[in-house]
Amino acid sequence: MKFFTNYFFILLFLFFQNFIFYKNLFAQKDTIKYNVEANTIAQLIAGLPIESDKITENATTKQHAKIFAENWDKLEDARLSKLRTWRDNELAEINQNTSTLFYPFAGPDFLNAYILFPDVDNYLLFGLEKTGELPKIEDMKGVFLQNYLANVRSSLSEIFSRNYFITRNMMQNVSANLKGVLPVISVFLAKTDNQIIKIQKVFIENADKITYTSLKFQSKYNFVNGLYIEFKNKKKNKIQKLYYFGTDFQDKAMVGKQDLVKFIKTFEQVTTLTKSASYLLHGGDFSTIRNLVLSQSNAVVQDDTGVPYRYFKPAEWESQFYGKYARPVKDFNYGYQNDVAQKFNTDKSIKSINFTFGYHWWTDKSSVFKYVKKKK
């Protein structure tokens, strides 16, 4: 009897000890200093309730919020919810072992990066579009506000319908009308329950010297520069980092950007994501980035526009294919892989998917390729 009495009191002690620990843990206030103005603008252009008294809702913002929510809900139902389920079933192990996501040819597509890899420490996004800036709160009124919100919706129209950006349209909608990718990235941050802590410009002076400045700073030197954002999800207890570089990845352009290559190589536990990339990695003009993907990645998740199947040697990579393979859409007269077509016709291990991924957005002919590097 004495044994059971002592055992009871031990359990009671442990219960109260844990209760106090968790009570204190959840009672702790978030001491992080967030960028209030950036988050206010992000909430506004994402059609979300504005958690600030600096902007008053009006007919323009309410109409924008209504239209935006309708389009987002369709995207969520048609694609995002299904991507999350597929991610949980098929990318769980990769996510556990990934610290950095390398996403060449991403443009401002933080959305798919975060949906598929929500817990990585670093996101490395690249595109041709300039970085840009967010509008000032005091300017968000009248005709400017109306036009700006319309430009946001126009810039995201292809994401809503296809879940990818078209480069030639981005040059107008994003680079010209919104002055760069930052507003679009901010929308995606807000819609995925993330709050911005800081936004800076980042300069790669050399592989060992990375400089962070205000967005307004202009260097007199021709360093590769980009965007740096620290953010935190409302439901997570970690700060994550996003880098965006607007730069040309062609081999002839990369000759003078070896410090950028070295910078990318400083990141560990890398997974590469490629989708809707115009089959650029199939040609001879992008061998630098293709070799970087193969040498630095522990895993690769891509559609058929990524690194061709023949580069993933069976002795070095495990592979799993999904969906259905089809010829490239009519915009591209290259990129078809006979060996991939044969594999899809004969390999019984290929798994089906219930979402579209890449250029075949209006059919069921999407394919996803997962490669995991074998341990030596």
- Structure token digits, residue 130: 């300039």
Predicted confidence (pLDDT) at residue 3 exceeds the cutoff of 60: no
**CA 256 – CA 258 distance, rounded (Å):** 6
Residue 353 lies in a domain: no
Instruction: Determine the pLDDT at residue 25.
Output: 42
pLDDT tens per residue across span 257-279: 999 999 999 999 999 999 999 99
| 3-class SS of residue 232 | strand
**CA 295 – CA 306 distance, rounded (Å):** 15
Q: Which of 46-55, 232-241, 275-284, 325-334 has the lowest average pLDDT?
A: 46-55
Instruction: Determine the pLDDT at residue 22.
Output: 47
Instruction: Determine the pLDDT at residue 24.
Output: 46
- Structure token digits, residue 31: 């001491």
Instruction: Determine the pLDDT at residue 86.
Output: 98
pLDDT over 70, % of the chain: 89
Residue 338 lies in a domain: no
Residue 238 lies in a domain: yes
pLDDT tens per residue across span 39-64: 999 999 999 998 777 787 899 999 99
Residue 122 lies in a domain: yes
Instruction: Determine the pLDDT at residue 216.
Output: 87
Measuring CA to CA, which residue among 57, 19, 174 is closest to residue 106?
174
**CA 355 – CA 79 distance, rounded (Å):** 6
Instruction: Determine the pLDDT at residue 185.
Output: 97
Instruction: Determine the pLDDT at residue 333.
Output: 84
Q: What is the chain's mean pLDDT, rounded?
A: 90
What's the mean pLDDT in 59-78?
96
E-state strands within the chain: 100-103, 122-127, 194-206, 209-213, 224-233, 239-246, 270-274, 297-302, 317-323, 367-373
E-state strands within 93-185: 100-103, 122-127
Residue 285 lies in a domain: yes
**CA 307 – CA 312 distance, rounded (Å):** 8
Angle of CA points 167, 169, 174, to nearest 5°: 90
Instruction: Determine the pLDDT at residue 217.
Output: 86
pLDDT tens per residue across span 150-178: 999 999 999 988 888 876 666 666 767 78
- For residues 125 and 242, the answer to whether their CB atoms sit within 8 Å is yes
Instruction: Determine the pLDDT at residue 221.
Output: 75
Q: How many CB atoms lie within 10 A of CB 330?
A: 7
pLDDT tens per residue across span 284-317: 999 999 999 999 999 999 999 999 999 999 999 9
pLDDT tens per residue across span 127-146: 999 999 999 999 999 999 99
Instruction: Determine the pLDDT at residue 27.
Output: 42
- For residues 213 and 204, the answer to whether their CB atoms sit within 8 Å is no
Is 1 exposed, middle or buried (CB count within 10 Å of its CB: 0-12, 13-18, 19+)?
Answer: exposed
Instruction: Determine the pLDDT at residue 110.
Output: 97
Q: Which residues of 273-312 are buried (b: 16+ CB within 10 A; e: fewer)?
A: bbbbbbbbbbeebbebbbebbbebbbbbbbbbbbbbbebb
- Domain count for the chain, please give it: 1
Q: Which of 29-33, 139-143, 225-229 has the lowest average pLDDT?
A: 29-33
**CA 117 – CA 196 distance, rounded (Å):** 18
Query: What's phi and psi for 165, nearest 5 deg?
Result: -95, 150
Residue 201 lies in a domain: yes
Predicted confidence (pLDDT) at residue 15 exceeds the cutoff of 70: no
303: which DSSP letter?
-
Give the dihedral sign, CA 9/10/15/21. positive
Residue 115 lies in a domain: yes
Which pLDDT band, with edges at 50, 70 and 90, does 18 fall under? low
Instruction: Determine the pLDDT at residue 195.
Output: 97
Residue 351 lies in a domain: no
**CA 174 – CA 177 distance, rounded (Å):** 6
Angle of CA points 265, 267, 272, to nearest 5°: 85
What's the mean pLDDT in 198-203?
96
Question: Which range of residues forms the domain containing residue 104?
Answer: 36-302
